[in-house]
Amino acid sequence: MLKRFVPPLLAALLLAACSTLSDLKTDVSERMFGPGPSDPPMELASFKPSTTATVLWHVKVAESKVYEFTPALDGAAIFAAGEDGEIVRLDSPGGKQVWRINAGEKLSGGVGAGENLVLVGTPKGMVLAFDQNGKALWKSKVSSEVLSAPKVANGVVVVRSGDSRIFGLSVADGKRKWVYERATPALSLRSAAGVTLDGGAAYAGFAGGKLVALKADDGRVLWEATVAQPKGATEIERIADITSQPVVDGRVVYAAAFQGRVAAVDRTNGHVLWTRDISSYNGMGAEGARVYVSHVGGAVYAMDYSSGKSYWRQGGLLNRHLTAPLPMGLYVAVGDLEGYIHFLEREDGVFAARVQTENSPIMAQLVDIGNSTLLAQTRDGGLYAVTSRLMSGVSLDSAVPEKQKPRELPASAD
């Protein structure tokens, strides 16, 4: 299995060089997953496209060199933000700007949208709420920097802080309704893993490979599952953190751990249905009885939802710091560190199309806005709407049957 290994000597040097545990977590994360690759990215091979990929429109948002930002879709409204505090609202599908404001302080997490709220977080642990016309509504303080987008549903804003606490805030005024906290290992990766809300529950992954389901209205623990077990001789080797968003699909929630496993968990009781030894940092996608995962080394896997067995593995994007896969009907999209969006065939994982946004890394999450179109935000501040269209002679009936039998891959495929 291809992994980014940090030897014990480097671990000792990191411990000596960092003045605080927070500095150490940041340093370890940057050395493993920083803006520059530790190994050269694989050169892109030429191929015969089976579909066309086109940039429909793009706008400039603020740069985000340190923090992760994901655009949000709420009805026909698109919201995006950047580190300097800028927040923009656009109309979908044309990308016309409706308004652009500045939050008045630096941002570190966002955007969340819903229930007439637009939500962002700051490095000082403030959650800022605006209405969807850009008017400031309230501020609420949590215990640490906000590294992911706050989420909202059923009258509760759920936000995760950098110290792995999860807070439930009132939609009306931001007052704290509940807080969830747990003990974490001494060393963990600093990541933008947030929460996933679905069906009245909040799902979140933690250091040490734990996946937790909380009742969203009061923070009560519904269940806890083990996705991965730490192993190894050193603290760095034993990192097995869930560093990406859990993915809900039907009655199953999926999670992936760095230096660990991918797991499918029954949402009703937390029972682990299956696991696969695949290490992932940016995470997964699921659609149509299939699960897709970006391996930490750059391979993309398609797996059967019921067993985890592989349909295919695409290894032509190694060391390209891939986003989480985004399933889109006949295709699966991933972005990379050079601003490319790659469309892979759902049936066999071969390249179907490719388009470059700009020469800047695509942030970890692509967003499906319908009509075969996705949103991608770059670190240099570009927000791009990219669409795929079938070429003449290709039939919509070419989609693979839902229950196609997965095939086993050799152990060396990882």
Average of per-residue pLDDT values in the chain: 86
Q: Which long-range contacts (CB under 8 A, 24 or more apart) does 77-84 make?
A: 77/113, 77/132, 78/369, 78/375, 79/111, 79/113, 79/118, 80/111, 80/377, 80/383, 81/107, 81/110, 81/111, 81/120, 82/107, 82/381, 83/107, 83/108
Question: According to the model, what pLDDT value does residue 106 have?
Answer: 97
pLDDT digits (tens, 9 = 90+) for 61-86: 999 999 999 999 999 999 999 999 99
Helix residue ranges, H only, 18-141: 21-33
The sign of the dihedral angle between the CA atoms of 311, 314, 318, 320 is negative
Residue 177: its H or E element = strand 176-180
Burial class (CB in 10 A: 0-12, 13-18, 19+), 15: middle
Q: How far apart are CA 124 and CA 229, in angstroms?
A: 32
The rounded Cα 346 to chain-centroid distance in angstroms is: 20
**Residue written as tokens 């805030």?**
169
pLDDT band at 228; cut points 50, 70, 90: confident
Percent with pLDDT over 90 in the chain: 74
- As a whole number of angstroms, the distance between CA 370 and CA 355 comes to 18
Structure tokens at 308: 């985890």
Among 257, 261, 254, 248, smallest CA distance to 216 is for 248
| pLDDT at position 187 | 64
**259: alpha, beta or left, given left = phi > 0 and alpha = psi -120 to 50?**
left
pLDDT, residue 391, reads 59
Find out whether 171 and 115 touch, Cβ atoms under 8 Å.
Answer: yes
Spatial CA neighbour of 271 closest among 225, 228, 332: 225
- For every residue of 295-337, which 3-state class applies, written as one string? CCCCCEEEEECCCCCEEEEECCCCCCCCCCCEEECCEEEEECC
Tell me the pairing of strands 151-153 and 136-141. Answer: unpaired
Phi, psi of 378 (to 5 degrees): -105, 165
Q: Which of 203-212, 215-224, 236-245, 249-258 has the lowest mean pLDDT?
A: 236-245
Cα–Cα distance measured from residue 279 to residue 261, given in angstroms and rounded to the nearest whole number: 6
Kindly state the percentage of the chain with pLDDT values over 70. Answer: 84
Per-residue pLDDT for 135 more than 90? yes
Which residue would you say has higher pLDDT here, 256 or 26? 256
Distance CA 355, CA 148 (A): 27
What is the Cα–Cα distance from 61 to 405, expressed in whole angstroms? 44
Predicted confidence band at 186 (pLDDT cuts at 50, 70, 90)? Answer: low
Question: Which residue from 237, 239, 323 is spatially nearest to 283, judged by alpha carbons?
Answer: 323
pTM given for the model: 0.86
Q: What are residue 168's phi and psi, to 5 degrees?
A: -110, 120
Amino acid at the residue 285: G
Q: Which of 121-130, 196-205, 329-338, 396-405 has the lowest mean pLDDT?
A: 396-405
